Amino acid sequence: MFLEIRNKEIFKQAQHYALEYLESVFERNVFPTEEAINNLSIFEEELPVDSSKAEKVLEQLNQYGSAATTATLGGRYFGFVTGSAIPIGLAAKNIGTYWDQAAAMNVMSPLSSKLESVVEKWLKQLFGLPGETSAGFVSGTSMANLCGLAAARYRLFKNNNWDINQKGLRNAPLIRIVTGKHAHSTVLKAISILGLGQENIEWVDVDEQGRIRPELIPELDENTILILQAGNVNSGAFDDFHSICIQAKKANCWVHIDGAFGLWAGAVEKLKYLTKGMEDASSWAVDGHKTLNTPYDCGIVLCADEEALTSALHTSGSYLIESRERDGMFYTPEMSRRARIIELWAIMKYLGKKGIDEMILTMHQRSKQFAEEISEIRGFEVINDVVFNQILVRCETDEITSQVLNNIQNLRECWLGGSEWFGKKVMRVSICSWATTEKDVSRSIASFKKALEMKNP
């Protein structure tokens, strides 16, 4: 049965199902129906004793799985800054899946090694980062934040003649953590995992848009990690990197920027004012699968201190074969890691600098359109400055806001989530898909209006 890999029919079958899905995804319900979700019970079974026919396995997966997916590839999914996937990226990932390359060492996949080196150079050019910056290709910004802060921890301890890899945290010198009160939860998770302790964070108040207030940042020093953000997860606002990084450099402080979706503003001519000064930071975290619309999963850690990054993520073993070329395992926590660089390279090659600029600027324009159209409907209010791709919408009360959001989700014309903004319930709209058109925005606005009219059924 294992020789079915030589049977092209099952691959043709899978390809047929995939293309069928792509043809329908832009018009289907954005969120699966209750029936489709209930039908997932078909997968609840004991592990079969006997082998199954490959075509039957694919048939079941397509029949019941496809219907229960969320249409994130389409133009009307606005939840969780998820992003869509550019077709060339899906196609490249498909080829890469068949190649099944492990990206740990050059000797395991010379292709992966070469593409990682090339894309690292492209990213530095695109974001205007220092020439000594190195990149690690990880699963997402959660892992990228962890890597960037691990590098910071290593360097600050090393500067105090403390080898964290050998001595651990017991009796270690004190490291300060300074960040804004709207820091993303993944930053807090990384601080916890690294043993730096959330109780040790020196919190700084933020302004009405969620930006850290520079004048309230405590005096920095060489034992401080300052964490900033490019794109508040709710409002999309950007910290003032220019003035803050000048202050931090004078103090020899490590600055890490969490830029999961917002760092890409630095690649857009008309938006890069938002990230002015970010090049003066020490490390950066960014996703490909959000704003750049690579298929999942794709995260990137960028670090201006290569020694700190590779030492923090050190790998050793007598059986390992190091190369004069890039060995990806030294830049990531994992050794076993799929070559996600294939689709990232394909998308950047396909779009080029101008294409990346145009795609991301269009997302911003659709966000401005959304804010303008929803503001024209009585009963809705946009409560943030739409500087990038995030729109916060609120109704008259928390109760109405929650009910309208629930109605929108049940209508399934578009999908978005809720949040809290300075103690008030809001609807959080994230526009980060290449596929979102002007028509998609207007169609979604009509769903908002209908949901508001339904608030008192």
What pLDDT, on a 0 to 100 scale, did the predictor assign at position 455?
65
Up-side HSE of residue 247: CA atoms within 13 Å toward CB?
15
Q: In the prediction, which pLDDT does 178 show?
A: 98
Quote the CA–CA distance of 74 and 94 in Å, as a whole number.
19
Question: Cβ atoms within 10 A of the Cβ of 370, count?
Answer: 26
Domains in the chain: boundaries: 2-71, 94-347
Quick check: helix, strand or coil at residue 76?
A: coil
Q: Which two tokens stand for residue 179?
A: 């960040």
Distance spanning both ends of the chain, measured CA to CA: 56
Q: In whole angstroms, what is the distance from residue 95 CA to residue 342 CA?
A: 9
Question: Residue 113 corresponds to which tokens in the numbers above?
Answer: 């090694």
Tokens for 258, please give them: 């969490």
| Cα distance between residue 56 and residue 269, in whole Å | 51
Beta-sheet pairing, 424-430 with 390-394: antiparallel
What gap in Å lies between CA 299 and CA 141, rounded to an integer?
A: 5
Secondary structure element (H or E) that encloses residue 116, with its range: helix 110-127
- Dihedral sign for Cα 24, 29, 34, 40, please: positive
The per-residue pLDDT for 142 is 97
- Would you say 392 and 383 are in contact if contact means Cβ atoms under 8 Å apart? yes
- The residues, any chain, with a CB within 8 Å of residue 76's CB and separated by 6 or more, are 30, 413, 414, 415, 436, 440, 443, 444
* 3-class secondary-structure state, position 354: helix
Tens of pLDDT along the chain (457 residues) come to: 555 556 789 999 999 999 999 999 999 999 999 999 999 999 999 999 999 999 999 999 999 999 999 999 999 999 999 999 999 999 999 999 999 999 999 999 999 999 999 999 999 999 999 999 999 999 999 999 999 999 999 999 999 999 999 999 999 999 999 999 999 999 999 999 999 999 999 999 999 999 999 999 999 999 999 999 999 999 999 999 999 999 999 999 999 999 999 999 999 999 999 999 999 999 999 999 999 999 999 999 999 999 999 999 988 887 888 889 999 999 999 999 999 999 999 999 999 999 999 999 999 999 999 999 999 999 999 999 999 999 999 999 999 999 999 999 999 999 999 999 999 999 999 999 999 999 999 999 999 999 999 965 4
CATH architecture of 94-347: 3-Layer(aba) Sandwich (3.40)
